[in-house]
Chains A and B, each alone.
Chain A
């Protein structure tokens, strides 16, 4: 057993939870002592906690997945109204009310996600914007919710406050009356603390990493075996559920809901909280939420508005809401990483990151990686028969057949535009293609989406490497492991011992892959610090830790210097010798001649020649395709 340690965390594992628990305890002690002087501060703390739960959820969307949603405020509203409704109409137990407050928005989130996630780009933001406006309209205009009388209201419900719900016999009193301890803040603060810990845990799992990959490139995510569509639905719904929980907390704090609190501005404020604090960081939402809630209520803002009136104009000035919106513009221009993000960058510059992984000490790494792949037992022969692909009227691929036997390297060569990359894209599942058949180890591939093919064991690299520039080499390789593809949202939340062991195994694979491609020394650097050649090797390592049965490489030597090409040849030979099937699209004939067991030359979408390297490279048809007709006449096909 080789000594592969867990990644060296910068903190002890219990340090962060302990700090959160201490802060939460202090907040509870401060808010529940019942003195009237602290009421407004207690309300502020309760409000911060309620919004924090929602902004933590939004951070998963905006920071991790790169999906901007304005509907988080609307989901919060739905959760709040659901909670109050359960209390008013059937006096539901507290925990049932909380559960429904999370579930109803989560379901609404599924609907929104299903409608938008198939589209790329800003569509989600646009549709959530409409959602926010419409939900506000319904809350403000629909009679059962009391319109602008609020919910509950004296006219319809006899009181403008909900009855304090009880938890384990405890009355949960809102922070509204002096002399009564604000017990409702206990669950609110605990939920906020738990949501923070939950975010931190989820972000570190394979599921959380897969969200970063989706943000980087949905194409890449699919080729790592991630069902992008389902995962986006899951994360939108998860975030909406957290928003709903935050809404229930909000209802606990104020015991009354006014529709004006849930206008579009709330959704905007939540986004500002996340971005101002630092999207994608654990503590960002805490800072952002505290700052915004403070700005909305602090006397200093009123003083600032007075200053505006005195010095600029008593008509043309910005009040609190306008100032927050203005701040959002300023942050996007001047500090896109947010407060916490910018601070982290400064710290990292001063203290460079240490390698996050123990180096490999387990013999031949190629043997480790490929042996793992072959435990499945079956043969990994790729058989492509007579496939075609047409773009409009252009036949890019026309009746191409290729077979890659286990333990062999097959190279596809051909002039630019011959359809080589299209063949790779047909095999990995980017295009559906027309006609023919494709099998990997006897399993038909036709009709399977890219992520299913990746799970069957097809791993590939891209012509231009797709890496997350801000992640370390280790993390960039780790996303190739199986957990990224197959871990469920529930699995990420519960984090079982089995999952932890799987992660240790994955890190072992990463160490082996880095050793194989010779990047052990660079493990702790971020991807944007690497040379182009090294970036391509990171992609190769990422493809290998997925335990592939077939490795598909799209021009792996392009942009590499001769030393790097020689190293690449060696790596591929070692993998081949362990029994891996490799399909390679390449222009470097030296590399092809050296390592390819079989060469297929494509011209104009068809296979022009297929045999061993020497035969194909001296075929007059191939030579003329590469060098033109004249060359053949002069050199008589002697030289390839």
Chain B
């Protein structure tokens, strides 16, 4: 069972990183990209395409994939999401657009790349890491370490730097932020770029373990979103913790009750959290003024 917990925690770190991308864009723009899983898939395919460039070291290939995907993320925000950013909380058109985008992206990837799993032949560690009391595949250990490091870096960036303060200002009140010279559009694009790049790195390392294929999106979307909701949607630290928790719960439930239960636990957890503590486990309740 310790093995399951470790594997769950390792994959949970990937969920956590993506959840944090959700929290990052949600607190800056009140939107998030439901094509995030496909953003990850694009990153993995770009990395696969770069695999042939022999002289480039693996970390540089990863970084190149991340930069390309960051641009994609920023463009997606500027072109598809930003036109639908309004003050009306009921307006969910941005969500419809991103879900539709994910389906377009999957369709394009399937048609152009085929549906088979292809091995990613760099950024891979073979073998198993033995910790004495439990074992975990080395690739997952690498995934966990990189995702956690990136996640902590993003959380620090958002909570401790001037850039993070400006992002929070945009989230708090876009107009006032504009009056003091903060460009809301640029902040939104930046948050999407950072979130997308992080997803690309995490997803690529993960495909080193499971292979590259177009349909990885749905596998990542639900756990990451569930992690973000559990953590509270606007808390970058909460999302990190929520993602890891979700990963462990998923593995344990799949271990005890079968794979289907591992998938269902996400919905149960999200519904439970929303009913009992709508602001999330790790976020503070916000008073709404009329």
Residues of A within 8 A of B (CB): 66-68, 70, 111-112, 114-116, 118-123, 125-127, 129-131, 133-134, 137-138, 141-142, 215, 219, 264-265, 268, 271-272, 275, 313, 315-319, 321-322, 324-326, 328-329, 332-333, 336, 391, 425, 430
Contact residue among A126, A275, A326, A333 (Cβ-Cβ distance under 8 Å from B83): A333
Residue of A nearest to B288 (CB): A120
Point out the residues of chain A lying under 8 angstroms from B97, CB to CB.
328-329, 332
Residue of A nearest to B229 (CB): A126
Q: Is the CB of B104 within 8 A of A68?
A: no
Q: How far is the CB of A426 from chain B (nearest CB, A)?
A: 11
Q: How far is the CB of B36 from chain A (nearest CB, A)?
A: 12
Point out the residues of chain A lying under 8 angstroms from B103, CB to CB.
265, 268, 321-322, 324-325
Known: A141-B260, A268-B103, A425-B290. Contact between A133 and B218, CB under 8 A?
Answer: yes
Point out the residues of chain B lying under 8 angstroms from A112, CB to CB.
271
Q: Is the CB of B96 within 8 A of A129?
A: no
Contact residue among A126, A219, A324 (Cβ-Cβ distance under 8 Å from B95): A126
From residue 175 to 224 of chain B, which have CB atoms closer than 8 A to chain A?
218, 221-222
B160 within 8 A of A: no
A sample of 28 inter-chain contacts (CB < 8 A) reads A68-B96, A70-B99, A115-B271, A115-B274, A118-B278, A121-B89, A125-B96, A127-B271, A130-B226, A133-B218, A133-B222, A134-B222, A137-B260, A138-B260, A141-B263, A219-B290, A265-B103, A268-B100, A315-B111, A316-B112, A322-B107, A324-B103, A325-B99, A325-B103, A325-B104, A332-B96, A391-B287, A425-B290
Contact residue among B96, B274, B290 (Cβ-Cβ distance under 8 Å from A123): B274
Given contacts A130-B226, A265-B103, A391-B287, 18 further A-B pairs with CB under 8 A are A67-B90, A116-B274, A120-B89, A120-B90, A122-B95, A125-B92, A126-B95, A130-B270, A134-B222, A141-B263, A268-B99, A316-B108, A321-B103, A322-B111, A326-B100, A328-B100, A329-B101, A425-B290
B255 within 8 A of A: no
Shortest Cβ-Cβ A-B pairs, 6 listed: A322-B107, A121-B89, A325-B103, A315-B112, A325-B100, A115-B271
Point out the residues of chain A lying under 8 angstroms from B151, CB to CB.
none
Q: How far is the CB of B273 from chain A (nearest CB, A)?
A: 9
Contact residue among B101, B266, B290 (Cβ-Cβ distance under 8 Å from A325): B101
Q: How far is the CB of B284 from chain A (nearest CB, A)?
A: 13
Interface centre among B102, B274, B287 (most CB of A within 10 A): B274
Interface centre among B111, B229, B275 (most CB of A within 10 A): B111
B117 within 8 A of A: no
Q: How far is the CB of A116 from chain B (nearest CB, A)?
A: 6
A137 to B260, CA, bound (A): 7
B163 within 8 A of A: no
Point out the residues of chain A lying under 8 angstroms from B264, CB to CB.
134, 137-138
Known: A118-B278, A125-B95, A329-B97. Contact between A264 and B266, CB under 8 A?
Answer: no
Point out the residues of chain B lying under 8 angstroms from A322, CB to CB.
103-104, 106-108, 111
Q: Is the CB of A129 within 8 A of B34?
A: yes
Residue of A nearest to B31 (CB): A122
A118 to B270, CA, bound (A): 14
Q: How far is the CB of A2 from chain B (nearest CB, A)?
A: 39
B225 within 8 A of A: yes
Point out the residues of chain A lying under 8 angstroms from B92, CB to CB.
68, 121-122, 125
A267 to B23, CA, bound (A): 25
Residue of A nearest to B276 (CB): A115
Point out the residues of chain A lying under 8 angstroms from B93, CB to CB.
332, 336
Q: How far is the CB of B188 from chain A (nearest CB, A)?
A: 16
Q: How far is the CB of A280 from chain B (nearest CB, A)?
A: 13
Q: Is the CB of A121 within 8 A of B90?
A: yes
B267 within 8 A of A: yes
Point out the residues of chain A lying under 8 angstroms from B96, CB to CB.
68, 125, 271, 275, 328, 332
B side interface size, CB within 8 A: 42
Point out the residues of chain A lying under 8 angstroms from B289, CB to CB.
391
Point out the residues of chain B lying under 8 angstroms from A120, CB to CB.
89-90
From residue 27 to 57 of chain B, which have CB atoms closer than 8 A to chain A?
34
Known: A137-B264, A316-B112. Contact between A325 and B107, CB under 8 A?
Answer: yes
Known: A123-B274, A264-B218. Contact between A326 and B111, CB under 8 A?
Answer: no
Residue of B nearest to A117 (CB): B274
Point out the residues of chain B lying under 8 angstroms from A313, CB to CB.
112
Q: Is the CB of A126 within 8 A of B112?
A: no
Point out the residues of chain B lying under 8 angstroms from A123, CB to CB.
274
A219 to B288, CA, bound (A): 12
Q: Is the CB of B267 within 8 A of A131?
A: yes
Point out the residues of chain B lying under 8 angstroms from A131, CB to CB.
267
Known: A315-B112, A322-B103, A325-B103. Contact between A134 and B95, CB under 8 A?
Answer: no
Contact residue among A130, A268, A333, A425 (Cβ-Cβ distance under 8 Å from B266): A130
Contact residue among A130, A134, A215, A318 (Cβ-Cβ distance under 8 Å from B107): A318
Point out the residues of chain B lying under 8 angstroms from A268, CB to CB.
99-100, 103
Point out the residues of chain A lying under 8 angstroms from B83, CB to CB.
333
A123 to B266, CA, bound (A): 15
From residue 62 to 115 of chain B, which have CB atoms closer than 8 A to chain A?
80, 83-84, 89-90, 92-93, 95-97, 99-104, 106-108, 111-112
Q: How far is the CB of B261 from chain A (nearest CB, A)?
A: 9
Q: Is the CB of A129 within 8 A of B99?
A: yes
A199 to B173, CA, bound (A): 39
Q: Is the CB of A430 within 8 A of B290?
A: yes
Point out the residues of chain B lying under 8 angstroms from A316, CB to CB.
108, 111-112
B259 within 8 A of A: yes
Q: Is the CB of A142 within 8 A of B260?
A: yes
Residue of A nearest to B99 (CB): A268
Known: A133-B218, A332-B96. Contact between A115 and B107, CB under 8 A?
Answer: no
Residue of A nearest to B262 (CB): A137
A115 to B99, CA, bound (A): 22
A322 to B221, CA, bound (A): 19
Interface centre among A313, A321, A332 (most CB of B within 10 A): A332
A322 to B34, CA, bound (A): 16
* Residue interface mask B165-178, A partner, CB < 8 A = 1: 00000000000000
Q: How far is the CB of A141 from chain B (nearest CB, A)?
A: 5
Point out the residues of chain B lying under 8 angstroms from A319, CB to CB.
107, 111
A141 to B254, CA, bound (A): 12
Point out the residues of chain B lying under 8 angstroms from A329, CB to CB.
80, 97, 100-101, 104
Q: How far is the CB of B18 from chain A (nearest CB, A)?
A: 14
Interface centre among B93, B102, B103, B278 (most CB of A within 10 A): B103
Point out the residues of chain A lying under 8 angstroms from B225, CB to CB.
126, 129-130
Residue of A nearest to B93 (CB): A332
Interface centre among A123, A219, A329 (most CB of B within 10 A): A329
A122 to B270, CA, bound (A): 14
Point out the residues of chain B lying under 8 angstroms from A326, CB to CB.
100, 104
Q: Is the CB of A66 within 8 A of B222?
A: no
A391 to B288, CA, bound (A): 11
A125 to B84, CA, bound (A): 15
Point out the residues of chain B lying under 8 angstroms from A141, CB to CB.
259-260, 263
Point out the residues of chain A lying under 8 angstroms from B100, CB to CB.
268, 272, 325-326, 328-329, 332
A344 to B259, CA, bound (A): 50
Point out the residues of chain B lying under 8 angstroms from A275, CB to CB.
96
Q: How far is the CB of B171 from chain A (nearest CB, A)?
A: 14
Contact residue among A130, A318, A333, A336 (Cβ-Cβ distance under 8 Å from B267): A130
Q: How far is the CB of A320 from chain B (nearest CB, A)?
A: 9
Contact residue among A118, A130, A318 (Cβ-Cβ distance under 8 Å from B111): A318
Q: How far is the CB of B220 from chain A (nearest CB, A)?
A: 11
Q: How far is the CB of A236 from chain B (nearest CB, A)?
A: 13
Residue of A nearest to B84 (CB): A332
Point out the residues of chain B lying under 8 angstroms from A333, CB to CB.
83
Q: How far is the CB of B112 from chain A (nearest CB, A)?
A: 4
Point out the residues of chain A lying under 8 angstroms from B34, CB to CB.
129
Point out the residues of chain B lying under 8 angstroms from A264, CB to CB.
218
Q: Is the CB of B95 within 8 A of A68?
A: yes
Q: How far is the CB of B262 from chain A (nearest CB, A)?
A: 9
Known: A68-B92, A133-B218, A322-B107. Contact between A119 and B263, CB under 8 A?
Answer: no
